Amino acid sequence: MKCKGNSLGRRSFMQVGFLGGLGLSLSDYFRMKKVQADQKFYESVEGPAKSVIFIYLPGGCAHQETWDPKPFAPIEYRGPMNSIETAVPGTRLNETMVKTSKVTDKIAICRSMTHGEAAHERGTHNMFTGYRPSPALQFPSMGSVVAHEFGPRHNLPPYVCIPNQPNVFAGTGYLSSSYAGFSLGSDPASGSFQVRDLKLPGGVDDNRFGKRRKMLTAVNDYFASKEKADSLDAVDTFYDRAYSLISSEKARDAFDINKEDPALRDKYGRNTAGARMLLARRLVEAGTRFVTLTYGGWDMHNNIEGSIKGQVPALDQGFAALIEDLEQRGMLESTLVCIASEFGRTPKINANAGRDHWPKVFSVVMAGGGTKPGIIYGKSNATASEPEEDALTVEDWATTIYNRIGIVADKELMAPGDRPIEIVNGGKVRQELIV
């Protein structure tokens, strides 16, 4: 007896026979088609926020002593510090935030940020990637995703970290390293500040550099004719980007904080907060899409009053100056400024007069770039220990930021092993935060 098999076998045979007629050269095409069909795809089109300045306060900034004071809470919750009225009646900030209190009508303060990660690295992971940490996959930071979606603008690197990539989660994750942030390697607040290797070395002028490049071409030609490899092309890409950066004075100038008006430098403050923010503004003005900068150390387990008085004034001055400066230049509408930290701090003052880690509720700030000015979004409860209204999840927060930049966060990018992964998994745009 013959085994007849099933009809499907023949049908697929016919189909494949037909495709076979198209020839093998289409293999890549089919593969591409397949991948596209399996991936959620949305075209990224520049949104209202043409650039982002992401100000990160490492260590876990106490929300009670900054954006969410609780003047009516019992003293052990309220803490030792007072609060002040601001430009928006009824919105109070910590007593040290004198300058920022005058720009609250231009910014959105979210007092209901929440996630469950009380360890520094896990909380940091959340805020930089929009994902909870996974043991199986490294997620890309928002800056790298922006670089991936839009690429460079006006010869400037799309993603810059001031002064350096602050932590591993600000990296490219599963994306190619070509989307990594460009680390300045030097602090703009320092008197000797200079971005490494941007300028030709001493004794090499444009003329000599031109000759060097001719020699380099003469040497590279032989190898290029002999070898073909993706890794080789990648090196070429970065050499080309380096050439365009070196040769464009305008692009290089963006990194030169000394080109800035001294009066404005004073206004921002000549310290790590002010100088970094001012440089960030120069970079986004010149074409950089995403700048990540860090300021200070906020892990205030001891003596919160002293620590806040040490850290906040510079942040207060720099941030207020940044908002006003952007507005005067007409850039606030197209520049999204965010302030974030990995978590807030415990509702009660601890035995060392400090506060410990508290991820259940804390505050973040968004300003410009198509976000709603002059609002308080969400609310923490009376002791600043739980969100009371509009709890803002990490996913929703990241999705809202991506939305302003013009990226649909539901889009899938390809992780190793042909795994399509959403930029943010399941986030929603918070309409109340955007205009």
Partner 1 sequence: MTATKAILRSLLLFTFIFTTAATSAAELVEVSVYPQNIDLTSSRDRQRLIVQAKFADGITEDITEQATITNGNAEVLRQEGCLFYPQGDGETTVNIEYQGKTLQVPAKVQNSAVTPKVSFSLDVMPVFMKANCNTGSCHGAARGKDGFLLSLYGFDTRGDYNNITRDFSSRRINLAFPEDSLLLTKGSGAVPHTGGTRFRKGDELYETVHEWLQDGANMDQGEIPTVTKVDIYPPGAVLNGEGAQQKISVRAYYSDGTDRDVTHLAYFSSNNDNSAVVEQDGIVTAQNRGEAFIMARFDTHTVGTQFIVLPKNLQFTWNEVPENNYIDTHMHNKFKKLRIIPSELCTDEEFIRRVSLDVTGRLPTVEEYNTFLADTDPKKRDKLVDELLSRKEFVELWVMKWAELLTIRTTNQISYKSMLLYYTWLQERVANNVPINVMVQELLGSNGGTFANAATNYYQNETNTLKVAENVAQVFMGMRIQCAQCHNHPFDRWTMDDYYSFAAFFSQIGRKRGEDPREIIVYNSGSGEVRHPVGNRVMAPKFLGGETPDVAGKDRRQIVANWLASDENPFFAQNLSNIVWAHFFGKGIIQEVDDVRISNPPVNKELLDALAQKLTEYKYDFKKLVRDICTSRTYQLSTKTNETNEKDTTNFSHATLRRMRAEVLLDSITQVTTTSNKFPGLPSGARAVQIANGNTSTYFLTTFGRAKRETVCSCEVKMEPNLSQALHMLNGDTVNSKIAQGGLVATRLGEEVPHEKIIEEIYVRCLTRKPTEKELTNLMELVGQEENKQQALEDVFWALLNSREFVFNH
Which lies closer to partner 1 via its Cβ, residue 235 or residue 435? 235
Is 20 in contact with 383 (CB distance < 8 Å)? no
Which lies closer to partner 1 via its Cβ, residue 76 or residue 197? 197
Which lies closer to partner 1 via its Cβ, residue 16 or residue 263? 16
Indicate the pairing of strand 92-94 with strand 83-85.
Answer: antiparallel
Q: Residue 80 Cβ, how far from partner 1 at the closest point, in Å?
A: 30
Which lies closer to partner 1 via its Cβ, residue 45 or residue 234? 234
Which lies closer to partner 1 via its Cβ, residue 74 or residue 210? 210
Alpha-carbon dihedral 196, 241, 404, 335, rounded to 10 degrees = 50
Is 288 in contact with 195 (CB distance < 8 Å)? no
Q: Residue 372 Cβ, how far from partner 1 at the closest point, in Å?
A: 30
Q: Residue 81 Cβ, how far from partner 1 at the closest point, in Å?
A: 30
Give the dihedral sign, CA 373/378/382/384.
negative
Helix H or strand E segment including 218:
helix 206-226
Instruction: From residue 259, give the alpha-carbon distance in Å to each of 208, 269, 282.
Output: 26, 16, 10
Determine if the peptide bond prior to 163 is cis (ω within 30°): yes
3-state secondary structure of 85: strand
Is 434 in contact with 403 (CB distance < 8 Å)? yes
Q: Measuring CA to CA, which residue among 123, 74, 87, 44 is closest to residue 364? A: 123
Q: Residue 342 Cβ, how far from partner 1 at the closest point, in Å?
A: 18
Which lies closer to partner 1 via its Cβ, residue 177 or residue 258? 177
User: Exposure of 159 by Cβ count < 10 A (0-12 exposed, 13-18 middle, 19+ buried)?
Assistant: buried
Instruction: From residue 35, give the alpha-carbon distance in Å to each of 40, 67, 315, 418.
Output: 10, 45, 46, 8
Q: Residue 31 Cβ, how far from partner 1 at the closest point, in Å?
A: 5
Task: Note the residues at the interface with partner 1 (CB under 8 A).
Answer: 1-6, 8-10, 12-14, 16-17, 19-20, 24, 27, 30-31, 34, 135-136, 157, 168, 176-178, 180, 182-183, 185, 196-201, 204, 208, 211-212, 214-216, 218-220, 222-224, 226-227, 229, 231-232, 234-239, 241-242, 245-246
Which lies closer to partner 1 via its Cβ, residue 92 or residue 411? 411
Which lies closer to partner 1 via its Cβ, residue 105 or residue 236? 236
Tokens of 376: 């308080």
Q: Residue 404 Cβ, how far from partner 1 at the closest point, in Å?
A: 26
Q: Residue 146 Cβ, how far from partner 1 at the closest point, in Å?
A: 16
Q: Residue 201 Cβ, how far from partner 1 at the closest point, in Å?
A: 5
The CB-side HSE value for 297 (13 A sphere, CA atoms) comes to 6
